[in-house]
Chain A
Amino acid sequence: MDQMTNAMLELADLDALSKLDSAVHRRHPLVKLLVTIAYIMIVVSFSKDQLSALIPMVLYPVLLFQLSGISMRVCFYKMRFILPLVCAVGIWNPILDRQVVMQLGALSISSGMISFVTLLLKGVFSLMASFLLIATTNIEQICYALSMLKIPDVLVTQLLITYRYISLLLKEAGTMMNAYSLRAPGQKGLHFSAWGSFVGQLLIRSMDRSQNLYQSMQMRGFTGSFYYARESRIQKTDIGYLLGWILFFLLLRYVNLSVLIGNLFV
């Protein structure tokens, strides 16, 4: 499957997931956005040797996956972009920092290994949180939450238009690429001689499309920003959800739950 079809399917899948109905889906988008930001900030604030303290932070995504009924497998597939980069940066830690901090039988564990695993977990946790936000909240709700946070209308409108047109242009680029591939069998990508004409054609057509879009928007009385058909109010349960999670994150930040549980058995 080519990259463009893949990207379109990923967008469609996320769109479908965000339309499910669950206790998490029903929470106010602003509350979900704030909880996600708080979670990621607290996760990345753990220092590189606080592995045992960081591990209990997994409870938030695990619980949310269960509550929302979304499969973790979809999320792990999305880690293909970021995890290699995190590994490339972190892999040097076990090589350069070999100070042994723990001995598990014959296995010596260095502080470099610990910092590497901590870094990987931070990457995985923060990505799971972002995924859960977008899988339980559709783009209109995200934009609504952003406008409630006083993010300029221009940015919010751009986000909506770009999101909507990505699928359309991906489809168009995919059709062009298919036509090109059929005429250039066995070729891995776009030949150097076609870089300008292929992408240039797509660009000019996109530019024309944007002119048509502007005219149709004007016909509908567009004044510079969109109006949301359904404005939702923050309920008491939403406030409870927000405060509950933030208190839980702070508790895990300052109390090492792993050590506490371990002390019960050792």
Chain B
Amino acid sequence: MHMADALLAPAVAATMYVASGVTTGVSIKELRLKEEAEKIPVMGVMAAFVFAGQMINYTIPGTGSSGHMCGGMLLSALLGPYAGFVSMVVILAIQCLFFADGGLMALGANAWNMAFYGCFIGYFLSYRPIVKSKMANMKVKLILASVLGCIVTLQLGAFSVCIETFASGITELPFGAFAALMQPIHLAIGLIEGLITAAVLVFVYQTRPSILEVVGEEEVVPGKWTLKKIAVVLGVIALLIGGIGSQFASSNPDGLEWSLFGNEDGGYSANMGLDEEEFGVASSVADTAASIQEKTAFLPDYAFASNEDNPMGTTVSGLVGSAIVAILAIGLCTLGGLFRKRVA
């Protein structure tokens, strides 16, 4: 998610520098390092540890590919949000100076997108409240806090990248289409980051719990929630979001469609002057494909084919869609596993 200098206009880069600079100033003040000088080497070595951790390839189960960690949430959990933020800024500065990953002008934006959300939003909105609650045992709470925190913060970071790029006016890609590309990718990245963070925090909790910032403060109370229960609740939440959320699904076309065809009903003229009905290449193959799609699409435009005006159609589509995607994902993982076993 590292932004390059070329992707930012000077005004946007300066604004992000001010935002990150103020956050760094506040963090340094909150750290009170004059009184607690032992934090200085700990922060430095932990930043170096996260840097080394970023170089490790983590095999993603069932896919055969590997992922990497970013480390913002992990640093916050170990050092607290203020020390975590300062350490992340240092990591980003070293990455941009010595490894050309990022840029000098883009450092402010990168600190905001990757350190601010991970260290503050992830910590105060997810990690601290969940770990301090009595909802489950500590292992489950650490997993839940890490996964939720990383998903939310990566989504916010990716959305910030879209806003900054759009505000800089360097790409012709419409904002909606850019966000539609960025957000789903970072959903997967966030999940992997969350799982890595959770695995490390659970190990540290089991071997040396005093290292964890919040855990060390209070007595650990075993909760009534198990990992299975949490997984079921997360599944139900996903289904509810798919079901209820799709009730409010916009009838306006999405970003890429909007950029191609516009939305005259919504008051926008056709952006690229293309006619949605006539767009595409007329051929016998295309006609055959369209007729196959008409027959197989039992939920055209997310509604039941028999009753397109029924809003319940959209809700059911959301639910069915969530289930199909889940089944497809599991199927792909299983197939991938079988294939690799056969190859081996």
Check A192 against B100 for contact (C-beta < 8 Å).
Answer: no
* Interfacial chain A residues near B5, Cβ < 8 Å: 40, 43-44, 122-123, 126-127, 130
Looking at the complex, which of B53-61, B123-131, B221-229, B233-241 is the stretch in contact with chain A? B53-61
* Interfacial chain B residues near A37, Cβ < 8 Å: 104-105
Interface string of B24-53 (1 = CB under 8 A from A): 110010010110011011111111110111
Interface string of A201-227 (1 = CB under 8 A from B): 111101101110110010000111000
Cα-based distance from A32 to B41 in the complex (angstroms): 29
CB nearest neighbor in B for A166: B48
Check A89 against B171 for contact (C-beta < 8 Å).
Answer: yes
Q: Does B66 reach chain A (CB closer than 8 Å)?
A: yes
Check A207 against B42 for contact (C-beta < 8 Å).
Answer: yes
Check B173 against A96 for contact (C-beta < 8 Å).
Answer: yes
Check B104 against A204 for contact (C-beta < 8 Å).
Answer: no
Among candidates A45, A127, A173, A200, residue contacting B103 with C-beta atoms closer than 8 Å: A127
CB nearest neighbor in B for A200: B203
Looking at the complex, which of B84-92, B283-291, B310-318 is the stretch in contact with chain A? B84-92
* Interfacial chain B residues near A81, Cβ < 8 Å: 2, 99-101
* Interfacial chain B residues near A187, Cβ < 8 Å: 59
Cα-based distance from A36 to B64 in the complex (angstroms): 42
Cα-based distance from A190 to B208 in the complex (angstroms): 22
* Interfacial chain A residues near B211, Cβ < 8 Å: 203-204, 207
Shortest CB–CB separation between residue B151 and chain A, in angstroms? 17
Interface string of A90-132 (1 = CB under 8 A from B): 1011011100000000000000100100011011001100110
Cα-based distance from A161 to B43 in the complex (angstroms): 9
Cα-based distance from A154 to B47 in the complex (angstroms): 14
* Interfacial chain A residues near B145, Cβ < 8 Å: none
Quick one: which of A170-191 are within 8 Å of B by CB?
A: 170, 172-173, 177, 186-191
Check A126 against B207 for contact (C-beta < 8 Å).
Answer: no
Interface contact tally, CB-CB below 8 A: 266
* Interfacial chain A residues near B58, Cβ < 8 Å: 189-190, 192, 195
With A86-B7, A204-B207 already in contact, the answer to whether A199 and B46 are too (CB < 8 A) is: no
Quick one: which of B79-133 are within 8 Å of A by CB?
A: 86-87, 89-91, 93-94, 96-105
Shortest CB–CB separation between residue A35 and chain B, in angstroms? 12
With A119-B170, A162-B91, A192-B61 already in contact, the answer to whether A44 and B41 are too (CB < 8 A) is: no
Q: What size tier do the contact residues of chain A reach?
A: 35 or more
Looking at the complex, which of B192-200, B242-250, B330-338 is the stretch in contact with chain A? B192-200
Shortest CB–CB separation between residue B206 and chain A, in angstroms? 8
Chain A CB count within 10 A is highest, among B6, B8, B47, B100, for B6
Chain B CB count within 10 A is highest, among A134, A164, A172, for A134
Among candidates A154, A186, A196, A206, residue contacting B203 with C-beta atoms closer than 8 Å: A196
Q: Does B165 reach chain A (CB closer than 8 Å)?
A: yes
Cα-based distance from A154 to B100 in the complex (angstroms): 24
Q: Does A157 reach chain B (CB closer than 8 Å)?
A: yes
Among candidates B53, B170, B195, residue contacting A173 with C-beta atoms closer than 8 Å: B53
Shortest CB–CB separation between residue A19 and chain B, in angstroms? 15
Q: Does B10 reach chain A (CB closer than 8 Å)?
A: yes
Is chain A's binding surface mostly helix, strand, loop or mixed?
A: helix
With A44-B13, A189-B56 already in contact, the answer to whether A123 and B41 are too (CB < 8 A) is: no
Check A166 against B4 for contact (C-beta < 8 Å).
Answer: no
Shortest CB–CB separation between residue A242 and chain B, in angstroms? 17
Check B172 against A127 for contact (C-beta < 8 Å).
Answer: no
Cα-based distance from A169 to B46 in the complex (angstroms): 10
* Interfacial chain A residues near B91, Cβ < 8 Å: 162
Cα-based distance from A134 to B170 in the complex (angstroms): 27
With A96-B173, A199-B56, A203-B49 already in contact, the answer to whether A134 and B98 are too (CB < 8 A) is: yes
Q: Does B204 reach chain A (CB closer than 8 Å)?
A: yes
Q: Does A48 reach chain B (CB closer than 8 Å)?
A: yes
Q: Does B202 reach chain A (CB closer than 8 Å)?
A: yes
Check A188 against B46 for contact (C-beta < 8 Å).
Answer: no
Q: Does B76 reach chain A (CB closer than 8 Å)?
A: no
Check A190 against B51 for contact (C-beta < 8 Å).
Answer: no
Selected A-B contacts with CB under 8 Å, 22 pairs: A4-B55, A81-B101, A93-B172, A115-B172, A126-B5, A130-B97, A130-B104, A152-B28, A154-B31, A154-B86, A158-B86, A159-B90, A161-B48, A163-B94, A166-B48, A166-B51, A202-B49, A207-B46, A207-B211, A210-B41, A214-B40, A217-B41
Given A119-B170, A161-B40; 12 other pairs, CB 8 A cutoff: A10-B99, A44-B13, A89-B170, A92-B171, A96-B172, A158-B86, A160-B44, A162-B90, A166-B94, A186-B344, A198-B56, A199-B196
Give the interface of A toward B (CB within 8 A).
3-4, 7, 10-11, 14, 36-37, 40-41, 43-45, 48, 78-79, 81-82, 85-86, 89-90, 92-93, 95-97, 112, 115, 119-120, 122-123, 126-127, 130-131, 133-134, 142, 152, 154-155, 157-166, 168-170, 172-173, 177, 186-192, 195-204, 206-207, 209-211, 213-214, 217, 222-224
Q: Which 4 A-B pairs have the closest CB atoms?
A: A161-B44, A189-B57, A200-B203, A196-B203
